[in-house]
Structure 1
C-alpha cells in the first residue's frame, strides 16, 4: 500500500506543477538505512520457509526492522510528513508486537484475495501476516480495510498504512513543489 501512495503522490505532485528534481535533492539523516531495511525484509520473506533459523526468528526479525525503521523516521522527524509516517509505522508496530510479530489480517476483509491466501493466513505461513482470531489484541489496528476494484490492486490494509500514506504524500509534495529552480513566486522587476 505504501508504494501505491508514493505513486499517487508523484502523479499529484507532477500535475500540480512540481518537479521530480526535488526528489534528487532529498536529504535524510541515516538515509542509507531505508534501502537496507527494505532488502532485509525481502530476504526474511524469501528465506523464512527455506532456512529453519530464519523461519524461527522471522517474527522477531520483522519487529527489529520496524524498530530500526522507527529510529530512522524519528531522526528525520523535522521533515514534512515524517511525524505522520512515524505515527502510521508505530501503529503497525504496536499491533504486530502485541500479536507475536505478525500483522493480524481480517479473514472477512480478505475474502476477495482468494482461497489460497486465506488458507495461508489461517495456517500462519503467509509472510509477516496471520489471521485475526478471538485472541488477537487490538484487531482494529490490523489489516481490516479491503481495497478492491475499482482500486487497481486487490489488498487489505491497516489504519497505520493509511496514516503512513498521508505522511508520505505530504513529504513528496513538499519535495516536488520546492525543487530548486522552481518558480514559486514572481521575482520583483529590476530597474
Structure 2
C-alpha cells in the first residue's frame, strides 16, 4: 500500500506543478538503510517457505526490520511528514509485535482476494501475515480495510498503512513543490537585478 501512496503522491505533485528534481535535494540520515531493509524484507518473504531456518526466524526478522525502520524514521523526524510516517509504522509494529511478529488480517475483508490467499492466510504461510482469530490482540490495528474496484489493486490495508501514506504524501509534496517554489524565488531575484 505504501508504494501506491508514493505513486499517487508523485502524480499529484506533478499535477500541482511540482518537480522530481526536488527529490534530489532530499536529506536523510542513514538514507541507505531504507532500501537495505526493503531488500532484506523481500528476501525473507521469498525464502521463508523454501528455507526452514528463515521460516523459523521470519517473525523475529520482521520485528527487527520494524525496529530498525522506526529508528531510521525517528532520526529523520525533522522532515515534513516523517512523524506521521513514524506513527503509522509504530501502529503496524505494535500489532505485529503483540501477535508474534505477524500482521493480523481480517478474513472477511479479504474475501475478494480469492480462496488461495485465504487458505495461505489461515495456514500462516503468506509472508508476514496471519488470519485474525479470537486470540488476536488489537485486531482493529490489523489489515481490516478492504480496497477493491475501482481501486486499481485489490488489497487489504491497516490503519497504520493509511497513516503512513498520509505522511509520505506530505513529505513528497513538500519536496516536489518546495523545489518549484525555491526555483521561482531564485528566478524572481535574478530578474530583479
Regarding TM over 0.5, the answer is: yes
Q: Deviations over 1:95-137 (max 9, x none)?
A: 0000000000000000000000000010111000000001000
Q: Where does residue 156 of structure 1 map in the other structure?
A: 156
- Where in structure 2 are the equivalents of 1:44-59 lying within 5 Å? 44-59=44-59
Q: Does 1:169 align with 2:161?
A: no
Q: Which runs of 5+ in 2 are unaligned?
A: none
Q: In the alignment, is the contact (CA less than 8 A) between 1:2 and 1:164 conserved in 2? A: yes
Measure how far apart 1:182 and its partner are.
2.4
Q: In the alignment, is the contact (CA less than 8 A) between 1:19 and 1:182 conserved in 2? A: no
Q: Where does residue 27 of structure 1 map in the other structure?
A: 27
Measure how far apart 1:190 and its partner are.
3.5
The structure-2 alpha-carbon separation of the partners of 1:184 and 1:155, relative to structure 1 and needing over 3 Å to count, comes to farther
- Where in structure 2 are the equivalents of 1:1-191 lying within 5 Å? 1-179=1-179, 182-183=183-184, 187=188, 190=192
Tell me the distance in 2 between the aligned counterparts of 1:143 and 1:10: 25
- The runs of 4+ residues in structure 1 deviating greater than 6 Å are none
Q: Deviations over 1:36-63 (max 9, x none)?
A: 0000000100111111111000000000
Tell me the distance in 2 between the aligned counterparts of 1:76 and 1:169: 16
What's the secondary structure of 1:116's corresponding residue?
helix
Measure how far apart 1:187 and its partner are.
2.8
Tell me the distance in 2 between the aligned counterparts of 1:142 and 1:174: 29
Tell me the distance in 2 between the aligned counterparts of 1:15 and 1:64: 38
Tell me the distance in 2 between the aligned counterparts of 1:68 and 1:166: 21
What's the secondary structure of 2:188's corresponding residue?
coil
Measure how far apart 1:184 and its partner are.
5.1
Q: In the alignment, is the contact (CA less than 8 A) between 1:66 and 1:89 conserved in 2? A: yes
CA RMSD of aligned residues (A): 1.4
Q: TM-score, normalised by structure 1?
A: 0.96
Tell me the distance in 2 between the aligned counterparts of 1:121 and 1:190: 64
Aligned length: 191
